[in-house]
Structure 1
Amino acid sequence: MAIIRVHTTQNVTLEYETASLGERILAALIDYAIIFAWFGVWVGLGAWAVSSAGPTKNTGSKDETAGIILLVIIALPYVFYHLVCEVFFNGQSLGKKARHIRVMRLDGTAPRFGDYLMRWLLRIFDSGMIAVIAVAASSRGQRLGDMAAGTTVVSVRPRPAQATPLAADLAEVARYRVVFPQAAQLADHDVALVRQLVYQAQARGNYELLHETANKVKALTHIETDLPDLPFLQTVLRDHAHLAAQE
């Protein structure tokens, strides 16, 4: 899998692993299973309603109206499923959430509505084997919609190396450059708690916990930054470890 490297304004390099083609296919299969389940439920309900009503006279217009309403109920989720999910679930459809992958801009920031809209609009031409071939051929794992929107799909599954996350690499202490000197204000018990919370949030994919932890750290240290929550917390803890080693 390719690695997306993003250099932030805080002189921090972030690395993201692009989602594999297999993971994206599995996520798509889960999404289609959900859509077809929705389709099956409403078709079953419609068939049951028709059979329960029995033969009646002069109901042609009513049946036609009911059929149109049923068609709209079935079609709307199919048409707008990916757009709505990605906008409201932080770049993840239900299938992507199940496979721990999500949409991200190539500059490391969260996609805007226009980016999600562009990806959705190009699904008309960019689906099935066309999407598979595009993702396989792209060095950044992009389908046509991603190329147009400047996005890709990355893995948010915790890496094995993160099983004991954020511990300082002693071999790099000498050349490490502190990004947030305010990290020295954190007490040792605060740092231990933050490490535990970050590990739990990564393991469970709990982005709300990451966000709350990041906000608490910012309140304690008065740090202002536009870094995403996880890279911010990782950087603060590395800074704290480095500063503590210099005392």
Structure 2
Amino acid sequence: MSELSITTTQNVTINFQAASVGQRMAAGALDFLIKAAYVISVFYVFFNKLGVDRMLNSVDMWSRVAVIIMFFFPVMIYSVTLESILEGQTIGKKLMKIKVVKIDGYQGGFGDYLIRWIFRIIENNIMGGLIGLIAMATNKKVQRMGDMAAGTAVITLKSNISINNTILEEIGDAYKPTYPLVIKLSDNDMRIIKDTFLVAEKTDDDYTILKLSKKIENVTGITNQSGNPTDFIKTVLKDYNFYTQNM
């Protein structure tokens, strides 16, 4: 399995494991089964039980095409919609524990997922999807053409990592949070903050810690109540963990 290094906007390099071709194909197969189940259900309920196909015989061709597209539109936009809502995952990807991420450290956006979706249509219609498979098999980041165009990659979430490598912080049941506004930050923000903080703390880089604490204050509107940048960042990390666990 290939290792994928992502450099965040804070110039911190995080190493992930790129999802294998097999994992991506398995996720795709699961998504295909879900879409196939939807199509079968639509045919059974609307065309077999309700007789929509008979009603369509009485209208013009363009009306028939419009109705058919309406019924099957959810299948067409399945991947781009779910990846946008679930932050880089479809149901198949969730089950396989893989996720789409930006290789520049940013959280992927709708535009990125749309580019991947458009290229998927192109790839699936060229040599039956073989071109996408070849691209993944020969690319060290296991990227298909859509990933290359969107600047994304698919990583596995199955890696065995310690709590120091995640956004999680150990807090007790009696923990009392200090800064409710930390929920303005995303998981990706917190991952960058923690990675940057750990590196700076390890190297006694007080300047970076101070700069990071000021950045957090500016983005969230939080005021550092402790006066100590190190204590402030540690509290922010714990508070975020508290609030996201109890939402």
- The two structures have a TM-score, normalised by structure 2, of 0.64
The structure-2 alpha-carbon separation of the partners of 1:63 and 1:7, relative to structure 1 and needing over 3 Å to count, comes to: closer
> Once the two structures are superposed, what CA deviation does each residue of 1:186-229 show, in whole Å capped at 9, x if it has no partner?
xxxx95318xxxxxxxxxxxxxxxxxx9x76959xxxx999632
Q: State how far apart, in whole Å, the 1-side matches of 2:187 and 2:97 are.
A: 24
Bigger mean CA deviation after superposition, 18-27 or 74-83? 74-83
Bigger mean CA deviation after superposition, 30-39 or 103-112? 103-112
The within-5 A match list for 1:1-247 is 1-45=1-45, 46-50=47-51, 60-61=57-58, 68=65, 71-127=68-124, 128-157=129-158, 159-162=159-162, 165-166=163-164, 192-193=170-171, 228-233=189-194, 236=197
1:242, distance to aligned residue in structure 2 (A): 8.8
In structure 2, give the amino acid aligned to 1:108: G
Which 5+ residue runs of structure 1 have no aligned equivalent?
A: 168-189, 195-212
1:10, distance to aligned residue in structure 2 (A): 3.5
Q: State how far apart, in whole Å, the 2-side matches of 1:83 and 1:192 are.
A: 35
Q: State how far apart, in whole Å, the 2-side matches of 1:60 and 1:113 are.
A: 38
Q: State how far apart, in whole Å, the 2-side matches of 1:6 and 1:76 are.
A: 35
1:74, distance to aligned residue in structure 2 (A): 3.4
Classify the secondary structure of the residue corresponding to 1:44: helix
**Equivalent residue pairs, number:** 192
Q: State how far apart, in whole Å, the 1-side matches of 2:96 and 2:56 are.
A: 47
Classify the secondary structure of the residue corresponding to 2:164: coil
Q: State how far apart, in whole Å, the 1-side matches of 2:122 and 2:15 are.
A: 31
1:87, distance to aligned residue in structure 2 (A): 1.3
1:161, distance to aligned residue in structure 2 (A): 3.8
The structure-2 alpha-carbon separation of the partners of 1:26 and 1:216, relative to structure 1 and needing over 3 Å to count, comes to: farther
> Once the two structures are superposed, what CA deviation does each residue of 1:42-93 show, in whole Å capped at 9, x if it has no partner?
1001211229x9x9xx984269899556522432022111111111110111
In structure 1, give the amino acid aligned to 2:19: A
The structure-2 alpha-carbon separation of the partners of 1:59 and 1:119, relative to structure 1 and needing over 3 Å to count, comes to: closer
- The two structures have a TM-score, normalised by structure 1, of 0.64
Which 5+ residue runs of structure 2 have no aligned equivalent?
A: 205-229, 231-247
Classify the secondary structure of the residue corresponding to 1:125: helix
Once superposed, what is the RMSD of the aligned Cα atoms?
3.9
1:2, distance to aligned residue in structure 2 (A): 1.7
> Once the two structures are superposed, what CA deviation does each residue of 1:135-177 show, in whole Å capped at 9, x if it has no partner?
01111111011111111111123x2242xx229xxxxxxxxxx
In structure 2, give the amino acid aligned to 1:36: A
The structure-2 alpha-carbon separation of the partners of 1:161 and 1:9, relative to structure 1 and needing over 3 Å to count, comes to: closer
Give yes or no for contact 1:42–1:70 (8 Å, CA) kept in 2. no
Q: State how far apart, in whole Å, the 1-side matches of 2:87 and 2:169 are.
A: 27
Classify the secondary structure of the residue corresponding to 1:103: strand
